[in-house]
């Protein structure tokens, strides 16, 4: 027998999933920012790929953002984004996790807040999120 509470939880996810996917796609907007006002033309951010991921590159450094639907601690629908460093070691392709963050249907992430205490948002802070993980990938290159 299906538990009523579990059904309600999945119905909430079904309703929130389109908003979560839309918030995730906001990362692709970072490309226009890098090519425009920010002026980091060597940073490229892909459109949403067939596997529902987004890739970013900077001078040969490549990272991948993969979104997963999850239930938060409060049992509410959220999205988890895993960032993966894609590189080759000894001629073999390697994918290593760089970190992850969570966001809700409103696009508010659980990444560290800025100096004023504002948490990054998927829509307005996409470029900063991409740079954060590109920097982590560059730092990870030191230990390869």
pLDDT, tens digit, 9 for 90 and up, residues 72-94: 988 899 999 999 999 887 778 88
**pTM for this one?**
0.90
Residue with tokens 């940073």: 43
Number of folded domains in the chain? Answer: 1
Q: pLDDT tens across 112-136, in order?
A: 998 999 999 999 999 999 999 999 9
Q: What is the C-alpha R_g of the chain?
A: 17
- What band does 1 get if pLDDT is binned at 50, 70 and 90? confident
pLDDT of residue 113: 92
Question: What's the mean pLDDT in 36-65?
Answer: 94
pLDDT value at 144 more than 70: no
pLDDT at 71: 95
Paired sense of beta strands 92-103 and 61-71, if any? unpaired
Using the Cα atoms of residue 20, residue 86, residue 99 and residue 111 in order, give the sign of their dihedral: negative
For 27, the 3-state DSSP assignment is: helix
Tokens of 98: 């760089």
Count of all residues that appear for the chain in the document: 144
- What pLDDT does residue 88 have? 80
Mark residue 97 as left, alpha or beta (left: phi above 0; alpha: psi -120 to 50; beta: remaining).
beta
- Distance from the first to the final alpha carbon of the chain: 51
What does the pLDDT look like over 12-33, one tens digit per residue? 999 999 999 999 999 999 999 9
CA distances from 126 to 2, 36, 54, 72 (A): 39, 14, 12, 22
**Domain carrying residue 21:** 4-141
Name the residue with higher pLDDT: 49 or 143: 49
- Structural contact between residues 82 and 98, judged by C-beta atoms closer than 8 angstroms: no
- Quote the tokens at residue 101: 């963050």
């Amino acid at each position: 027998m299906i538990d009523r509470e579990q059904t309600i939880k999945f119905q909430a996810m079904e309703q929130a999933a389109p908003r979560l996917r839309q918030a995730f796609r906001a990362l692709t907007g970072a490309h226009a920012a890098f090519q425009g006002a920010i002026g980091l033309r060597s940073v490229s951010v892909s459109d949403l790929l067939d596997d529902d991921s987004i890739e970013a590159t900077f001078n040969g450094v490549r990272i991948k953002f993969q979104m997963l639907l999850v239930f938060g601690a409060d049992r509410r629908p959220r999205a988890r984004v895993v960032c993966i460093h894609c590189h080759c070691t000894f001629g073999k392709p390697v994918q290593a996790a760089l970190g992850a963050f969570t966001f809700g249907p409103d696009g508010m992430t659980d990444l560290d807040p800025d100096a004023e205490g504002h948490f990054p948002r998927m829509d307005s802070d996409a470029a900063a999120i991409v740079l954060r993980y590109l920097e982590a990938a560059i730092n990870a290159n030191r230990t390869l």
